[in-house]
Amino acid sequence: MKAVPLSRVYLTDEVRAAAVAALNSGRYILARECSAFERELAEYVGVRHCVLVSSCTAAFLLLHHAMELGPGDEVIVPSHTAFPTVESLIHVGAKPVFVEVDDTYCIDPAAIVEAVTPRTVGIIAVHLYGQAADMERIAAIARERRLWVLEDCAQAIGARYDGRRVGGLADASAFSFYPSKNLTVLGDGGCIMTNDDRIAEQVRMLRDHGRRSKFTHELVGFNLRFNEIQAAIGRVMLRHLDELNAGRRRIAARYGARLSRVVATPIERPGAESVYHMYVVRTPDRDALATHLKTYGVETGIHYPVANHQQPAITTRFGAVRLPRTETLVNEILSLPIYGELPLEDADYVADRVIAFFESR
């Protein structure tokens, strides 16, 4: 029997050699490799500034501090996202206002309009599963109501929207380089990107004890820095990102062609090009399908089984809200194996098993 993992990291001798070279360089924190990785990431996305930090969660925390978010502020976020999208909001005293997603699993612009109150200061658009949110409509809503917009790009590095890469489409963005993401540093890591000089400078200081020079602390900051070995790994990964993302798109096209008669397959937004961090199908028979696939060696996942507006950490602080569409979809979604180097024959094996499951019903 085959064993098809949900995902697998890209790890080659080129990656190993880069890590060893950085290890032997004698510099370990925020030195040459980090500066080069920041430059290359900014150029790749097409933004003025990239600041490396220790994770995407840290990126949001520092952005919220730089934007002076605080108690009384409300921020509109999709409930259907990873919990870290909202965690940092709560650390700075702001309130996440959860809304529904649309058919692409990204925040529903119509739901944003309904959620705005006089206390609303901003919106976090999550490019979930690798597909850009509806940024044009979100930007129009934000402009009219004088709100800022942040992009959560943790799952979407390389994805395009109207030909432009995500991460430079709003006031600032946050990325993750965690091992499961499309671009990983084989550890924790992340960055902020922005075209705003002030935000970039604030985050740059805040990540390193609020200083610009060694012994002068202009702000009370944090230690949420990045390191040389992981930057060196990330630089190699970035050179292979487009080919790995293209591999994901090939797998997604194959799954789509074969599976759309039996399950709801992902919808690509017109003008958007997803990088398929996850390949998520939807069916009311989700649990039975997952069990069937497991018996045939196919690993699956659920991203995410509990909506954020129903997480205990949220309901105990902010009370209960109802989001019926989200509450239904979390019981029907299933993530199928996908990664850049997944062989097409493995994708066909997965598709065969999914089709066989529905034919045997």
Residues at the interface with ligand PLP (CB under 6 A):
55-57, 81-82, 84-85, 126, 152, 154-155, 176, 178, 190
Residue placing its CB nearer to ligand PLP in the complex, 184 or 259: 184
Q: Closer to ligand PLP by CB, 108 or 152: give it.
A: 152
By the 8 A CB rule, do 73 and 65 touch?
A: no
Min separation Cβ 185 and ligand PLP, Å: 10
| Least separation in angstroms between CB 291 and ligand PLP | 25
Name the minimum Å distance from CB 356 to ligand PLP. Answer: 31
CA-wise closest residue to 7 among 300, 350, 304:
300
Pick the closer one to ligand PLP by CB: 55 or 79: 55
98 or 357: whose CB is closer to ligand PLP?
98
Least distance (Å) between residue 143 CB and ligand PLP? 24
Choice between 82 and 111, CB closer to ligand PLP:
82
Is 122 in contact with 147 (CB distance < 8 Å)? yes
Q: Find the shortest distance in angstroms from Cβ 205 to ligand PLP.
A: 20
| Exposure string over 222-255, b if 16+ CB within 10 A, otherwise e | bebebbbbbbbbbbbbbebbeebbebbbebbebb
Residue 16, number of CB atoms within 10 A of its CB:
13
CA distance 332 to 223: 40
Helix H or strand E encompassing 91: helix 84-91
